Amino acid sequence: MLGCLYVHCRSETTSQDKGLRKVTRPPAPSPRSCASRLCSVLAEKERRVKANDREHNDRFPYADNRIKTSKYNAFTFLPVNLFEQFQRVANAYFVILLILQLIPEISSLSWFTTIVPLGLVLAITAVKDATDDYFRHRSDQQVNNRQSQVLIRGSVQNEKWMNVRVGDIIKLENNQFVAADLLLLCSSEPYGLCYVETADLDGETNLKVRQAPNVTSDLGDVSRLTDFDGEVICEPPNNKLDKFTGTLHWRDNEYSLDNEKMLLRGCVLRNTEWCFGMVIFAGLQTKLMQNCGKTKFKRTSLDKLMNTLVLWIFAFLVCMGVILAIGNSIWESWIGRRFEVFLPWGESRSSAVLSGFLTFWSYVIILNTVVPISLYVSVEVLRLSHSLFINWDQKMFCGRTDTPAEARTTTLNEELGQVEFIFSDKTGTLTQNIMAFSKCSIDGQTYGDIYDEFDQRVEITEKTACVDFSFNPLCDRGFKFHDSSLVEATKREDPAVQEFFRLLALCHTVMPEEKSEGDLVYQAQSPDEGALVTAARNFGFVFRARTPETVTLWEMGRAVTYQLLAILDFNNVRKRMSVIVKNPEGHIKLYCKGADTLIFDRLDPSCSRLMNETSEHLSEFAGEGLRTLALACKDIDEEYYEAWAERLRCGSTAIEDREEQLAVLYEEIEQGMKLLGATAIEDKLQEGVPETIARLNLADIKIWVLTGDKLETAMNIGYSCNMLRDDMNEVFVVSGQTRLEVQQQLRSAKEHIVGLSRVSSPGDIEKSDAFADDSVFEEAIIAEYALVINGHSLAHALEPQLEHILLDLACLCKTVICCRVTPLQKAQVVELVRRHRGAVTLAVGDGANDVSMIKTAHIGVGISGQEGMQAVLASDYSFAQFRCLQRLLLVHGRWSYFRMCNFLGYFFYKNFAFTLVHFWYGFFCGFSAQTVYDQWFITLFNIVYTSLPVLAMGLFDQDVSDQNSLRYPSLYKPGQQNLLFNKRRFFLCTLQGVTTSFLLFFIPYGAFSVMEKDDGSSFSDQHTFAVTVATTLVIVVSVQIGLDTHYWTAVNLLFVGGSLVVYFATLFAMQSNGLFGVFPGNFPFVGTALNCLSEKSVWLVILLTTVVCVVPGLVVSFLRVDLFPTPTDKVRHLQRCRKKQRPQQQSLRRARRTSSRRSAYAFSHQQGYGELITSGKNMRTSTASSARSPDRTAGSSNWIENVLKRKNEVACIS
């Protein structure tokens, strides 16, 4: 996520209006013509917007505020959708066949056998795509029709969002969404401040502060805003959420504008009664929509493989057609001429060569069923059904938010079984962005754990009793703590405990709001600051009010006001914060909190024993993944403070080296402090995140975290999720500021991993990466490494000269974390992996800043949480919690891939076996393009006789249960390696089909040449032969699908048995006297079935052919499983052994992470907020209404003890 964008109200500004510079405006240039202004806008060099002047702004082609995320409209749907569908080679192939079937000279099959299924496929796909796009249209309309208050002709009027224009002045009220990118003009707060929540942009729920230009902050009433005619000249539309450059021209003066004065579309106004803003960017040109990216047409790798295979099959079909056409020409030349007396050539066949040419096209039509259209109908049905299975999965349903999993597309299900890279956002995706005060150490004593009567630590669960805070009428009832000994120490007024909580109540930048007596709401700059102040509040030290000069606490029922003398603000170098206060007794004290290493270096030597004890406690807290802070205080002599304060005033007004002078003064007064203790805060992960990441790692899925948070925060979450561990060989941190530094850091890390010395000149990039394409390095590396890179360095690393080094290094690492990245950089990282690795990628996020990444990846997943619905609307799949990802991939994804691969393999097998009988028959029928089977059998074979059994297999088959799919994640690897269906597998399936067709033809042919009927006559008619071959074919493919099915259900039994019954019923009905009497020309095989199948010898031929066709494959399968079992075969064996027992659940117990790493200061905390408080700019002069954020319940998460070390055990199941 992008970092906090707080206003830095620093004292170095020349006026109270931070960042504004007032200069004399140069002489205005002569007005440009409309044409030249238009050209300027089209060139996108700058944007000129005039307030309250629609006529002026309409001269420029600025976008209106209407958004569009849909792909089609009523006019483009048909052509665009058909264009997308005909990117499938098979669809174009079927159209060509349809045209050929319309030529009577070469067609031996009716045209309707092709156009009906083709039209059905196109219609089903079009309806599905139209339905998906309808929901996008509906979402767009819902947003576009939202109401906004616009200043029009001197009054505030309601307008739909889509009617808002650039230059309009909009009024926003508390809890309203920002309709467009606005320049903040004024607000109900002092100094033009307002508070916004940017969760829909960056997923962060902590509030950000924005401040209007000082020159407009007093335009508080409608009349003055109506007269406002300022002109803004700024940068053109772009996707940089954290940057804005512009100038406000008003009353012959110029005022600089930056991002701190902008309200971006997607933000929500919080704790501010009202504000007015001027529209700068609208609609698709807002920064939110610029980050959304284009909706892409996504196709699976199986779809692309199918296109290649269709071309192969077509080439094979042409070869067979050529062979048979040549055979026809030779036969007609040598033998056919003898029959011209009673079988003369028609006009269309005036020569043997022409006859062969026409025969070629006839055989192309007859043999086209090697790729039947019913295959694509079945594929669409399977994909739709697999999507419904995801929607119906109760184990992916979130009861707390009443949110089911949703497959928002039906075309990518099998791709879920082939994912190699997951790109995840952090805040709101891995974490709940909720901090909880978990434990603390005070004066060498730890609090937070509970023990039983045997003095053994008890694990804290949701059912563990909480401490009763009823003694405190101002407590936060949502606060949970389980160790009652800390409350008892507070009640008996232990000095160390009281000073500890007094520090937490005083040393912060939180703003309180008391909506009613005792109803306190804290607005914290960062969630962990809020957690610490709330903890102090519950233990009797309630932070109740503040002014620029005072802080009022309610200490154990008594109101105490402290004089606030100074705030020594936090920054990334200090990593600590201090306040200096004077208590009612007149004593001056300094309270400090921050990173333990920095605090310990500044302690008085007398604290050495306590420091050692506290250090042990901190290591213990960090081992459990908690975020820690050390607390210290110091008594200050008043005389010394006065002298120090004077030097501080001089330093704060210095022109040069101001920061350095202040740092020296801060350092001086923060020496010799007394240690009070330490806090441990839990940055609550979403439920099941560590387990999910562990299982996905065991499945050889690489997880990269792409977040806008600062490096330290991202690394803390990495340790909490076990993505980063202390037992890793190395964690590389790339933070270079220049391209050369980044290149050197990447090179040295890569060389360290591969253990090779490749020091070369900075420009010699290609030579040093000669080994980059050798994937053996990746597989040979046993040690585990991690890469952490910040956004500034990533910008250099993504340049064409360095991107290959970055990718090679990242792929050699077990974990990759990119922090401080922009939405565009997220998409670029995904595109880099997708383009150069050829792997299936999945992106998961919850905010609008993740949309571009989600659209770029092969598969996009949206987390439907509290951060808005932008990511969900752009995603292919959505659910409420990250933990559902393991079930989506390891169960539904793996099953979908397994089912689709088995379905395709079997489908090609049965259709080659069905179709190539015509090829063998061609050598015995004079290459006349005569079909073996009855035309009705050809029409119904794929539609009726064999469609339902293969559909049942594609719908319900499973090699292992869902429990074992999760228990043994290594079973996911075959999908990543394309082992279940690839070109080799296709060749084997077609070879089996060709062999079966050979046996199906020649065994009955040989048998009939020597067999006699019971009455002594021979089997000489073609009809009897056709019925025998057709019946044998149906039985063979039915037996084969029975052998290929791993998981039998009642539906499978019904469909297989029912298909055989339907075949025989249809066979006898169509070859009966009744139908022949009604349609003599359409049913020529009258009586054949009854005469043929009443012969015992025919059934013996059918039985022999079935055994010969099926048994060899059965033997090969048995020997393979017995001699060369795969991990799936081993798990299936274990599953059968435990069939009568309930599967034993995997033991996932909470384990303490052994880590010596301690987290540092303040999650998302930024420098500068302390001075905003002491300046008083954010203090209300009157009570303003505000709204409290919805309460959120914190979920618990489990830990896996050394789960990643089980990888070899899982892969080698005995």
| pLDDT tens-digit map of 1149-1175 | 444 444 555 554 444 455 666 666 766
Range from 60-74, 976-990, 1010-1024 carrying the lowest mean pLDDT: 1010-1024
The CA radius of gyration of the chain, in Å to the nearest whole number, is 37
Top-confidence residue, 51 or 1080: 51
User: Highest mean pLDDT range out of 280-284, 352-356, 820-824?
Assistant: 280-284
Confidence of residue 969 (pLDDT cuts 50, 70, 90): very high
Burial of 1151 (0-12, 13-18, 19+ CB in 10 A): middle
What are the tokens at 970? Answer: 């290594």
Could you give the CA distance from residue 1209 to residue 1214 in angstroms, rounded to a whole number? 9
Is the pLDDT assigned to residue 347 strictly greater than 90?
Answer: no
End-to-end CA distance of the chain: 44
CA dihedral 373, 375, 380, 385 (to 10 degrees): 150
Strand order through the sheet with 859-863: 406-407, 877-879, 859-863, 840-845, 419-424, 702-706, 815-819, 785-790, 730-734
Confidence of residue 36 (pLDDT cuts 50, 70, 90): very low
Reduced to 3 states (helix: H, G, I; strand: E, B; else coil), residue 533 is helix
What local confidence, expressed as pLDDT, does residue 670 receive? Answer: 93
Could you give the CA distance from residue 914 to residue 1034 in angstroms, rounded to a whole number? 9
Quick check: 540 and 555 in contact, CB under 8 A?
yes
What local confidence, expressed as pLDDT, does residue 884 receive? Answer: 92
Quick check: 280 and 262 in contact, CB under 8 A?
yes
What local confidence, expressed as pLDDT, does residue 1185 receive? Answer: 35
In 3D space, the residue among 604, 457, 20 whose CA is nearest the CA of residue 257 turns out to be 20
Burial letters for 811-841: b for 16+ Cβ neighbours within 10 Å, e otherwise? bbbbbbbbbbbbbbbbbbbbbbbbeebebbb
Quick check: 896 and 413 in contact, CB under 8 A?
yes
Q: Which residues contact 939 (CB under 8 A, 6 or more apart)?
A: 113
User: Which residue type occupies 490?
Assistant: T
Could you give the CA distance from residue 78 to residue 80 in angstroms, rounded to a whole number? 6
What are the tokens at 560? Answer: 């105490």
Residue 984, number of CB atoms within 10 A of its CB: 10
Three-state secondary structure of 794-829 = HHHHCCCCCHHHHHHHHHHCCEEEEECCCHHHHHHH
What local confidence, expressed as pLDDT, does residue 1076 receive? Answer: 57
What local confidence, expressed as pLDDT, does residue 97 receive? Answer: 78
Is the pLDDT assigned to residue 221 strictly greater than 50?
Answer: yes
What are the tokens at 1045? Answer: 């099915």
Is the pLDDT assigned to residue 423 strictly greater than 90?
Answer: yes
Q: How does pLDDT run across 1187-1202, given as a tens digit for each residue?
A: 333 333 333 333 344 4
Confidence of residue 40 (pLDDT cuts 50, 70, 90): very low
Quick check: 41 and 240 in contact, CB under 8 A?
no
Could you give the CA distance from residue 408 to residue 413 in angstroms, rounded to a whole number? 11
Is the pLDDT assigned to residue 13 strictly greater than 70?
Answer: no
Q: How does pLDDT run across 1075-1090, given as a tens digit for each residue?
A: 656 666 566 667 678 8
For every residue of 477-526, DSSP letters joined together read: TT-----HHHHHHHHTT-HHHHHHHHHHHHSS--EEEEEETTEEEEE-SS
- DSSP H or E run through 276: strand 274-281
What local confidence, expressed as pLDDT, does residue 99 receive? Answer: 83
Range from 536-540, 845-849, 969-973 carrying the lowest mean pLDDT: 845-849
Is the pLDDT assigned to residue 5 strictly greater than 50?
Answer: no
Question: CA distances (Å), 10 to each of 13, 208, 653, 1175, in order?
Answer: 6, 17, 10, 9
Q: How does pLDDT run across 590-605, given as a tens digit for each residue?
A: 999 988 888 999 999 9
Quick check: 301 and 838 in contact, CB under 8 A?
no
Top-confidence residue, 76 or 820: 76
Confidence of residue 482 (pLDDT cuts 50, 70, 90): confident
The DSSP code for 1124 is S
In 3D space, the residue among 314, 378, 359, 385 whose CA is nearest the CA of residue 107 turns out to be 359
In 3D space, the residue among 425, 419, 429 whose CA is nearest the CA of residue 834 turns out to be 419
Three-state secondary structure of 951-969 = HHHHHHCCCCCHHHHHHCH
Range from 202-206, 362-366, 743-747, 777-781 carrying the lowest mean pLDDT: 777-781
Q: What percent of the chain clears pLDDT 70, i.e. is strictly above it?
A: 82
Range from 762-771, 859-868, 898-907, 983-992 carrying the lowest mean pLDDT: 762-771
Range from 55-59, 182-186, 873-877 carrying the lowest mean pLDDT: 873-877
Is the pLDDT assigned to residue 847 strictly greater than 50?
Answer: yes
- Where helices occur in 171-300 by DSSP H, the ranges are 199-202, 222-226, 287-290
What local confidence, expressed as pLDDT, does residue 471 receive? Answer: 86
Three-state secondary structure of 1026-1045 = HHHHHHHHHHHHHHHHHHHC
What local confidence, expressed as pLDDT, does residue 777 receive? Answer: 45
In 3D space, the residue among 546, 520, 549 whose CA is nearest the CA of residue 534 turns out to be 520
Confidence of residue 332 (pLDDT cuts 50, 70, 90): confident
| Candidate list 425, 528, 808, 957, residue with the active-site label | 425
What are the tokens at 550? Answer: 């005072």
Could you give the CA distance from residue 536 to residue 934 in angstroms, rounded to a whole number? 87
Helices 89-101 + 373-392 axis angle, to 10: 140
**CA 1182 to the chain's CA centroid:** 45
pLDDT averaged over the chain?
Answer: 81
Could you give the CA distance from residue 176 to residue 412 in angstroms, rounded to a whole number? 36
Top-confidence residue, 224 or 1082: 224
Range from 608-617, 753-762, 1204-1213 carrying the lowest mean pLDDT: 1204-1213
What local confidence, expressed as pLDDT, does residue 28 receive? Answer: 38
Confidence of residue 8 (pLDDT cuts 50, 70, 90): very low
What local confidence, expressed as pLDDT, does residue 1065 receive? Answer: 92
Could you give the CA distance from residue 729 to residue 250 in angstroms, rounded to a whole number? 60
In 3D space, the residue among 709, 626, 208, 690 whose CA is nearest the CA of residue 425 turns out to be 709
What local confidence, expressed as pLDDT, does residue 1175 receive? Answer: 67
Confidence of residue 19 (pLDDT cuts 50, 70, 90): very low
For every residue of 389-407, DSSP letters joined together read: HHHH-GGG-BTTTTB--EE
Confidence of residue 554 (pLDDT cuts 50, 70, 90): very high
Quick check: 445 and 500 in contact, CB under 8 A?
no
Question: CA distances (Å), 373 to each of 122, 368, 800, 901, in order?
Answer: 11, 10, 44, 18
Q: What share of the chain is helix, strand, coil (3-state, %, to 5)?
A: 45, 15, 35
What local confidence, expressed as pLDDT, does residue 528 receive? Answer: 80
Q: What is the mean pLDDT of residues 511-530?
A: 79
Q: How does pLDDT run across 314-326, given as a tens digit for each residue?
A: 899 999 999 999 9
In 3D space, the residue among 284, 154, 307, 313 whose CA is nearest the CA of residue 224 turns out to be 154
Query: What does the chain come to in residues?
Result: 1214
CA-based torsion, 363, 364, 367, 373: positive or negative: negative
Q: What pTM was computed for the model?
A: 0.75
Q: What is the mean pLDDT of residues 964-983?
A: 92
Is the pLDDT assigned to residue 121 strictly greater than 90?
Answer: no
What local confidence, expressed as pLDDT, does residue 1184 receive? Answer: 36
What local confidence, expressed as pLDDT, does residue 344 receive? Answer: 66
In 3D space, the residue among 161, 176, 277, 272 whose CA is nearest the CA of residue 219 turns out to be 277
Confidence of residue 445 (pLDDT cuts 50, 70, 90): very high
Is the pLDDT assigned to residue 652 strictly greater than 60?
Answer: yes
Q: What percent of the chain clears pLDDT 90, i.e. is strictly above it?
A: 39
Is the pLDDT assigned to residue 822 strictly greater than 60?
Answer: yes
425 included as an active-site residue? yes
What local confidence, expressed as pLDDT, does residue 897 receive? Answer: 95
In 3D space, the residue among 820, 827, 831, 764 whose CA is nearest the CA of residue 794 turns out to be 820
